[in-house]
Structure 1
Amino acid sequence: MNAKCQCGQLSAALTGASTTVIACHCSACQRRTGSPFGVLAYYPSESVEITGTATRYERSTLTGGIFETFFCPVCGSTVYARAWKNPALIGIAVGAICDPSYPAPMWSVWEEGKHDWVEIPAPGGHFPQGRT
């Protein structure tokens, strides 16, 4: 399975299954995606092979950590992300995988920022704030 940006310059080859899929409704993810939420599928870093050039953006989290997003410098698409609290995992933007049969999120977090019309089926749980 592969994830890639709009222009195809930045891609991630994925082997194996993701460990979890999370829909996040925080304001940073809304602004990062230009959508009411962001969805990342987390894979062990050894299961991800990145090719192409990425621009890195780093922001502080509310819990004092760092969250990094990596996007294509040509077309601007976010392809992957990393949270310092889970350094062994890489979050892949589910939209970059572009597979309508990809599994739905297992968790829905920071739901106090969720738009009223959004419904996320999350069998693992719904959390008003981040998952601990």
Structure 2
Amino acid sequence: MCHCRDCQRRTGSLFSIAAFFARDDVVTAGGNAVFERPSASGHPVAFHFCPACGTSLWWEARRLPELIGIAVGAFADPDFPMPEQAVWAVDRHEWLALPPDMPLHERNPVRNG
């Protein structure tokens, strides 16, 4: 779950939620359009979306080259697991209550490796 202002603007909501998968485990099909922009972490992100309706489909962050983020809403599954963490909490709306046991990072967590 990302609370950065860029994700807020992109989604029109208070946050973005993605499920990340190993690039080698993801197969994409059909047409898509791409919009690339800088991110709050300083690394570009390429967003792939449906050219017919504009729905966000997946994204590729240069900071995470081995992963592909897929918009959780694209799964249309109300039983999809809860996010494991919240990032960019520095931009989180104060009134948005999160589960008390959810790890909350002021920015992006430091990656090892």
TM-score, normalised by the number of residues in structure 2: 0.88
CA change 1:48–1:96 in 2 (3 A) is same
* Unmatched segments (≥5 aa) in structure 1: 1-22
Residue 116 of structure 1 aligns with an amino acid whose one-letter code is: E
Aligned match for 2:28, one of 45, 50, 62: 50
* Unmatched segments (≥5 aa) in structure 2: none
Cα RMSD between the aligned structures? 1.5
Residue 81 of structure 1 aligns with an amino acid whose one-letter code is: W
Deviation at 1:125, TM superposition (A): 1.4
Question: Which string of whole-angstrom CA distances, capped at 9 and with x for unpartnered residues, describes residues 9-62 of structure 1?
Answer: xxxxxxxxxxxxxx0000110111111100010001121111111111111124
Alignment correspondent of 1:125: 103
Equivalenced residue count is 110
Residue 47 of structure 1 aligns with an amino acid whose one-letter code is: D
SS in 1 for 2:69: strand
CA change 1:117–1:48 in 2 (3 A) is same
Shift >6 Å, 4+ stretches:
none
Residue 69 of structure 1 aligns with an amino acid whose one-letter code is: F
CA change 1:121–1:64 in 2 (3 A) is same
TM-score, normalised by the number of residues in structure 1: 0.77
SS in 2 for 1:50: coil
Q: Percent identity?
A: 37
